[in-house]
Chain A
Amino acid sequence: DAGVTQSPTHLIKTRGQHVTLRCSPISGHKSVSWYQQVLGQGPQFIFQYYEKEERGRGNFPDRFSARQFPNYSSELNVNALLLGDSALYLCASSEMGGAGELFFGEGSRLTVL
């Protein structure tokens, strides 16, 4: 079975540009969460979506937005990119209920120049 898939794996943007990152959850998982991981730090929670509704939002500016589609895949959008947005963006899917451990994708590494 396929795990969580993310695209693109690497991308380079310049300040002020916009970026869209994509994520497909594990089949059967309806919850998708996005995390930002800066080098040397632990992941930081950005958003959670469940059944196409936002269920949680971390401490990130309004330049960050996301959505979930009927097939449970998700997009993370970041506008007006800043140098500090350079990071690994991780998508995680989970089942609701039980331990509900998160299964992470390999991430999209964004470099902002």
Chain B
Amino acid sequence: GQNIDQPTEMTATEGAIVQINCTYQTSGFNGLFWYQQHAGEAPTFLSYNVLDGLEEKGRFSSFLSRSKGYSYLLLKELQMKDSASYLCAVRPDGSGNTGKLIFGQGTTLQVKP
């Protein structure tokens, strides 16, 4: 089966650091993605991990452990505009079917002043 788990909601304070965890069990693995989705808008790409380790991109970092089926998204120096839903997604198949992602339910992050 395909299963991706992430917390439903999180709250953090402006300027702080927050870590959003994601665990997955999928029939195959060909990369893990994090997307940001503001209410009523399209998901936008944040990060991609296919090898174990940390990928850093500005205030956002993403970590992957394939042996543990685990990833996290780290957001630093939180801003009010970071209030959004954060979607963890796994690509289970390789080339030829790269358009298929399995998404978690999303984590709604609320940043408070």
Contacts and interface: CB of A to CB of B under 8 A. Distances in A.
A15 interface: no
11 contacts: A41-B106, A42-B4, A42-B104, A43-B87, A44-B103, A56-B97, A94-B99, A100-B98, A101-B33, A102-B99, A104-B43
Interface of A: 4, 31-33, 35, 40-45, 48-50, 55-56, 58, 90, 92, 94, 96-97, 99-107
Interface centre among B48, B89, B97, by most chain A C-beta atoms within 10 angstroms, is B97
Interface of B: 4, 31, 33, 35, 41-45, 48, 50, 87, 89, 91, 93, 95-106
A99 B103 contact: no
A31 B41 contact: no
B105 A42 contact: yes
A104 B99 contact: no
Top 9 closest A-B pairs, CB basis? A42-B103, A33-B99, A48-B99, A104-B42, A100-B98, A99-B48, A56-B97, A101-B45, A56-B100
Contacts, number: 74
Nearest to A55: B97
A23 to B, nearest CB: 12
A53 to B, nearest CB: 10
Question: Chain B's interface: helix, strand, loop or mixed, by majority?
Answer: loop
Contacts of B102: 45
A43 B43 contact: yes
Given A42-B106, A48-B99, A94-B99, 20 more contacts: A41-B106, A42-B89, A43-B43, A43-B87, A44-B103, A45-B99, A45-B102, A48-B97, A48-B100, A55-B99, A58-B100, A90-B42, A90-B43, A97-B95, A100-B98, A100-B99, A101-B48, A102-B45, A102-B99, A104-B44
